[in-house]
Amino acid sequence: MTSSNKPTRRPENPRFSSGPCTKHKGWTLDALNGALLGRNHRQADTKGRIAEALARTGALLELPEGYRVGLVPASDTGAVEMALWNLLGPRGVDVLAWEAFSADWVTDIVDELKLADVRVLEAPFGALPDLAQVDFTRDVVFAWNGTTSGVRVPDADWIPEDREGLTICDGTSAVFAQDMDWHKLDVTTYSWQKALGGEAQHGMLVLSRRAVERLETYKPPWPLPKLVRLTKKGQLMEDVFKGETINTPSMLCLEDYLAALSFVEGIGGLEGAIARADANAGVIADWVAKTPWVDFLATDPKTRSNTSVCLKVVDPAVTALSPDALAAFTKRMAKRLEAEGVAYDIAAYRAAPPGLRIWTGTTVERTDVEALMPWLDWAFHAEKEALAGAA
């Protein structure tokens, strides 16, 4: 392909951002008509609407009996912070880091909480740490899916049932798109804006019985602001998991989340949601297999994400560029696609290696991913021709 061979078919929906992610097909503002706007969030009907969202979430995710789901402030970040600041301290901690956000949790644990007994198990972008080295007599903090690297844990087989410590999982780009073994997860967090294309600033916190026991038997030695507090007088704040919230939520955003849950129910529940993400990622895998200039950032096929697909350029003429020039090359590719209205926001995350990042989660249509692939070829060859012309 050359720059003159511009594809004729365009994605119907060019929104491939990795967060906030696209709404599902057919979404309109009419989905928000039932929102209880201008109402106090602690009244019976508003609390009932929040409780409905929590109950439907638990049912769709097929959570084990006794697991609790709560709506908390500040998106997935806020939910992770709540877990770290409330639960860590009584045991040593193993924290896994292989991409930008998991590295942020290292910073929190080491530099902010200043825990003394911390092991950081690291891997570069594109790989996982050695999971066999994780010590489950300790608390373990990890991301299920590395949104900025396109690398996920392949399963939960590496986590023992009889672990002594807690597992704290940032699941924000995995929940509702990947098969997560909840029995192996004591704390899981996510945001509406990822797999379900919801609105930002609201986080979800899923707790096992073991996590609740820790909360009720351990008091952290540091102050806990109201915004992250989960216990009162040594007891779990159960109301947070029954429709009460720590601060004021957006009932408009909540209505949007309920619409997203209805979408998942309509596509066959969790199984259908996972199948859609798998099919979308499969389109890219098939294209990469026959396209010589591109490859996955994830080196092991078993660990490749089915939601945040990260790609790198492997054409020798381009990889010979300096790191800054290579980054500029891939950013120009993304800008070309945005200018054509066929793909928005697909440049690699700012802290990740140069490349492209394409969201293929549950709310994306497979036909749009299929339509995008020839445009990626076009953008690459257009930039390569421009590079040759400038030499």
* 216 has pLDDT over 70: yes
Encoded tokens for 321: 């560029």
Question: pLDDT of 15-25, one tens digit each?
Answer: 999 999 999 99
pLDDT at site 5:
86
Q: At what angle do helices 209-217 and 75-87 cross, to 10 degrees?
A: 50
In angstroms, what CA-CA distances link 175 with 56, 268, 306?
Answer: 14, 15, 11
What gap in Å lies between CA 318 and CA 201, rounded to an integer?
39
For the residues 157-176, what does the mean pLDDT come to? 98
What gap in Å lies between CA 138 and CA 42, rounded to an integer?
38
* 266 has pLDDT over 90: yes
pLDDT band at 390 (very low <50, low <70, confident <90, very high): confident
Percent of the chain with pLDDT over 90: 98
Q: How many CB atoms lie under 10 A from the CB of residue 72?
A: 24
Q: Provide CATH code, domain 269-390.
A: 3.90.1150.10
Q: 115 and 89 in contact (C-beta within 8 Å)?
A: yes
Instruction: Report the length, in residues, of the chain.
Output: 391
Q: 222 and 81 in contact (C-beta within 8 Å)?
A: no
Strand bridging mode 167-170 / 187-191: parallel
Contacts of 15 (CB under 8 A, 6+ apart): 21, 22, 23, 344, 345
pLDDT at site 3:
62
* 44 has pLDDT over 70: yes
Strand bridging mode 202-207 / 93-97: unpaired
Longest Cα pair distance anywhere in the chain, in angstroms? Answer: 70
Q: With the C-alpha atoms ordered 373, 378, 381, 384, is the resulting torsion angle positive or negative?
A: negative
Q: At what angle do helices 269-289 and 251-266 cross, to 10 degrees?
A: 80
Encoded tokens for 70: 């709560």
What residue spans define the domains of the chain?
29-265, 269-390
* 2 has pLDDT over 70: no
Rounded to 5°, the CA angle 191-192-196 comes to 125
pLDDT at site 361:
98
* 39 has pLDDT over 70: yes
- Average pLDDT over all residues of the chain: 97
Q: With the C-alpha atoms ordered 4, 9, 15, 17, is the resulting torsion angle positive or negative?
A: negative
Contacts of 64 (CB under 8 A, 6+ apart): 182, 183, 208
Among 81, 90, 76, which residue's Cα sits nearest to residue 215? Answer: 90
pLDDT at site 203:
97
* 1 has pLDDT over 80: no
Please give the DSSP secondary-structure letter assigned to residue 32. Answer: G
* 4 has pLDDT over 70: no
Topology classification of domain 29-265: Aspartate Aminotransferase; domain 2 (3.40.640)
Among 79, 73, 141, 74, which residue's Cα sits nearest to residue 107? Answer: 141
User: Strand, helix or coil at 166?
Assistant: coil
For the residues 230-254, what does the mean pLDDT come to? 97
* 166 has pLDDT over 70: yes
Strand bridging mode 202-207 / 68-73: antiparallel
pLDDT at site 327:
97
Among 251, 164, 249, which residue's Cα sits nearest to residue 214? Answer: 164
pLDDT at site 195:
85
Question: pLDDT of 74-128, one tens digit each?
Answer: 999 999 999 999 999 999 999 999 999 999 999 999 999 999 999 999 999 999 9
Rounded to 5°, the CA angle 20-24-28 comes to 95
Q: What are the beta bridge partners of residue 69?
A: 206
Contacts of 388 (CB under 8 A, 6+ apart): 317
What gap in Å lies between CA 66 and CA 87, rounded to an integer?
18
CB neighbour class for 301 (10 Å; exposed up to 12, middle 13-18, buried from 19): exposed
pLDDT at site 367:
98
The yes-or-no answer to whether 29-265 and 269-390 have a common fold is no
